[in-house]
Structure 1
Amino acid sequence: MIDLPVLLAALQRLPGFAAVALPDLLPLPEKGLAHDHVRIAGTTWLLRIPRQSQFSFSALDNLSYQQACFERAAFSGHTPQFRAVLPPGPCLPMGALLVEAIDGVPLDLPEDMAGIAACLAAIHSLPVPSDSNRRPLENHGDAVAGTLAFIERQSIALTQALPACDARRQIESELEWARGFAAESAGQSQPLTLVLSDTHPGNYLRRKDGRVICVDLEKALYGAPGIDLAHASLYTSTSWDIASAATLTRPEIESFYRHYLSLLPGGMADSLRVWLLPLRRLTWLRSVTWCVHYRMESIKARQRDKAVAASTEDWSTEDVDAALIAHVEHRVADYLDPQTIARIRCEWVGERPLSL
């Protein structure tokens, strides 16, 4: 539950917002598990209020990281502008970010996949700073190893979440492949860019001018652009958000990749191609092991001391809209279904892998 009077008091301390009144704060419907959102009437701004950090940051570090995400990606022209941070405190434990409110509508798939491709191509084409200037964003110089580290952490609960069954056996087979691929590809160079990491179609809005804007930037880092492409087009992503849910056909997936590659500068497309299918496979494994992680973490009690906690990762279902939780649990059950897993794996295992 958002404490609007507390939020208002924090907002009024920012230059230019002293005249905002309580009726001007318009909470938006709950849509995701990590943030609440409040529109400020009569302005072009939105308050983005974290519930947790999916990277296990403290409240203050989470705000600093998200600020960097918004500031770095803004040069693409496909993300909201950042304005200010409202610091954490006893009554606003995770603080908030003040960012541009995007007037737009949820995407229609597959028609808007071209818009996602344009958005991602613009972000991936931004200049990459030197190693020392990439902080505070994570730097996955070896993107395969960096992603595998997430997967390994999430898969710890695999035996508990999925007792011996076909779904678990398939996931374990993919884990074995991922470890082998990480060892095999270690030291091999691939394009490294600013990436968003969480690029499922529900994280975008389409403006009236047709431009697709990514509005959720909390997990940006320097890594492999192929992971963003995969996360934008896997079944576990395109069916996640209620408003934009769709199942892409194989030709539609392949067309999305082709369009994206056509938008890249120079020889970047040629450098990426060999990585696209294995990174799609790795990204699916990241998504499905998150489902395992969520299944075990969501039954825990809500963390109540986030203002001072070293880690604020918190997937508890307490205090979350019941309809949203029902939707998430339905999606998780689908993604962990052995038939769903087998159908997705046909994209890379078998006689007809995707042609990317």
Structure 2
Amino acid sequence: MDEARQEAIRNYCLHAGWMRFPGGVSFLAAGEYNENWLVETGQGLRVFRINHGSQLGLGESQIAYEHRVLELVGASGVTPLPYGVDPHPQAVEPALPGGVLLMEYIPGAPLDYTRDAGRAARIFAAVHSLPVPCGEETHKIPGLHDHAAPCGLVVQADPVGDIVRECEGMLARFSDHPRKEVLARLLRYRDEVARMGEDTRPLFAGEPLCIVNTEVNSGNFLISDQRAALVDWEKAVLSCRHQDLGHFLAATTTLWKTDYVFDAQARAGFLREYCHALYAAGAAVPPWDMLDAQTRVLERTILLRGLSWCYMAWYEYTRPEQSGHSIESGHSVKNGQAGRALTHAHTLATIERYLDGVEWLLR
């Protein structure tokens, strides 16, 4: 399969003018929703991304949506630049299975929480301080979102309420899910988060919206001596900054591929570095007490989303037909199929560890 995919990517890049002459194509990472390939274009290395689905419910509009996000955050200097997009790449054979996106290749290693948290804080500040364009045609997905930003992004102006509703959908997706004891605990926690959202609504009144990534695990950062960047912008929305800050700090995020948990000192250091970076960028710096309290609310909310996703994904991963199926990105030392298989095993193991430790995570 990998050889056929490489040929399809090479043929498409030549046809679209994204490659000056036949160059190398190698596998980078794959997941349920996207697969990424490294392409030698003649203008330098690029990432060729093939879309297979949408976590935002955007259907065939997903890849164009991600391209639009990359256009909007490009001025930050901490995200990959987009070079081209085609939602329907049907012009060459063999055919590609979904919409495609060409973007900048950024070399680097995943983020190390003990060493790189400050660099992550500066990345967030660079993105969150960007002005949100207005005055453009509103982008709507009929029947899905009540409204969207003039810049074309999905809006989550009520982040706690929006995430609670998202989690309810994940928890209710499989009526024959066997882990009923976990469901009962998560439903109780959902009620706690929903009440917290109502109680803290005044805390977020008037909070300015910004572009947030919403999936800021360590593997989505690329860190090198030359540059630090945040990649994978498929689920970006317009919301409050605390979605990213809370997600970054939540234990379900840090424990996904590491054994790290932020203690009080490290958490405060990360948020203070974020404030320093906002100030250096000339952006408004929120009062410390408010930033701390708002971020804590989203940390608790993100725990619900992470565990709800694990509950849903456990069912999908343990179905016989899902053998070798991958949701989270993974790297291959030999080829794409090996990378997907290794990632599947790691992801299922992590999901089971989270579900078995629900009480510890929610303490």
TM-score by length of 2: 0.80
Contact 2:164 2:193 in 1 (8 A): yes
Matches within 5 A, 1:205-224: 205-209=222-226, 211-224=227-240
Matched, 1:81 2:81: yes
Matched, 1:174 2:178: no
Q: CA RMSD in A?
A: 2.6
In structure 1, the residue matched to 2:143 is none
**Range with greater deviation from structure 2 (125-134 or 172-181):** 125-134
Any idea what SS the aligned residue of 1:277 has?
Answer: helix
In structure 2, the residue matched to 1:246 is 259
Any idea what SS the aligned residue of 1:106 has?
Answer: coil
- Number of equivalent positions: 322
Any idea what SS the aligned residue of 1:56 has?
Answer: coil
Matched, 1:39 2:56: no
In structure 2, the residue matched to 1:237 is 253
Alpha-carbon distance change, 290 to 16 in structure 1, aligned in 2, over 3 angstroms: closer
In structure 2, the residue matched to 1:354 is none
Any idea what SS the aligned residue of 2:168 has?
Answer: helix
Q: 1:93 aligns with which of 84, 90, 97?
A: 97
Alpha-carbon distance change, 97 to 269 in structure 1, aligned in 2, over 3 angstroms: farther
Q: 1:121 aligns with which of 115, 125, 142?
A: 125
Q: Distance in 2 between matches of 1:16 and 1:179?
A: 47
Matches within 5 A, 1:266-345: 266-270=284-288, 271-298=290-317, 299=319, 321-337=340-356, 340-345=357-362
In structure 1, the residue matched to 2:19 is 17
Alpha-carbon distance change, 65 to 269 in structure 1, aligned in 2, over 3 angstroms: farther
Matched, 1:144 2:146: no
Q: Distance in 1 between matches of 2:266 and 2:291?
A: 19
Alpha-carbon distance change, 162 to 123 in structure 1, aligned in 2, over 3 angstroms: farther
Alpha-carbon distance change, 262 to 174 in structure 1, aligned in 2, over 3 angstroms: farther
Any idea what SS the aligned residue of 1:161 has?
Answer: coil
Contact 2:220 2:230 in 1 (8 A): yes
Structure 2: which amino acid aligns with 1:147?
I
Any idea what SS the aligned residue of 1:252 has?
Answer: helix
In structure 1, the residue matched to 2:67 is 67
Contact 1:35 1:52 in 2 (8 A): yes
Q: Distance in 2 between matches of 1:252 and 1:327?
A: 27
Task: Tell me how far 1:255 sits from its aligned partner.
Answer: 2.2
Contact 2:50 2:101 in 1 (8 A): yes
Matched, 1:261 2:275: yes
Contact 1:162 1:168 in 2 (8 A): no
Structure 1: which amino acid aligns with 2:276?
S
Q: Deviations 1:193-232 (Å, cap 9, x if unpaired)?
A: 11001111110111322x3201111111101211111212
Any idea what SS the aligned residue of 2:234 has?
Answer: coil
Any idea what SS the aligned residue of 1:67 has?
Answer: helix
Q: Distance in 2 between matches of 1:269 and 1:201?
A: 27
Structure 1: which amino acid aligns with 2:214?
S
Contact 2:30 2:36 in 1 (8 A): no
Alpha-carbon distance change, 205 to 26 in structure 1, aligned in 2, over 3 angstroms: same
Q: Distance in 2 between matches of 1:110 and 1:95?
A: 37
Contact 2:89 2:100 in 1 (8 A): no
Q: Distance in 2 between matches of 1:160 and 1:184?
A: 34
Contact 1:114 1:259 in 2 (8 A): yes
In structure 2, the residue matched to 1:163 is 179
Contact 2:133 2:151 in 1 (8 A): no
Task: Tell me how far 1:238 sits from its aligned partner.
Answer: 1.6
In structure 1, the residue matched to 2:215 is 198
Q: Deviations 1:287-340 (Å, cap 9, x if unpaired)?
A: 1101112123343858xxxxxxxxxxx969xx7822211101001011111xx3
Q: Distance in 2 between matches of 1:178 and 1:141?
A: 17
Any idea what SS the aligned residue of 1:321 has?
Answer: helix
**Range with greater deviation from structure 2 (167-176 or 45-54):** 167-176
- Structure 2: state its 5+ residue gaps: 139-148, 329-336
Q: Distance in 1 between matches of 2:206 and 2:178?
A: 36
Task: Tell me how far 1:189 sits from its aligned partner.
Answer: 3.1
The percentage of counterpart residues that share the same residue type is 24
Q: Distance in 2 between matches of 1:330 and 1:27?
A: 24
Contact 2:30 2:340 in 1 (8 A): no
Structure 1: which amino acid aligns with 2:286?
M
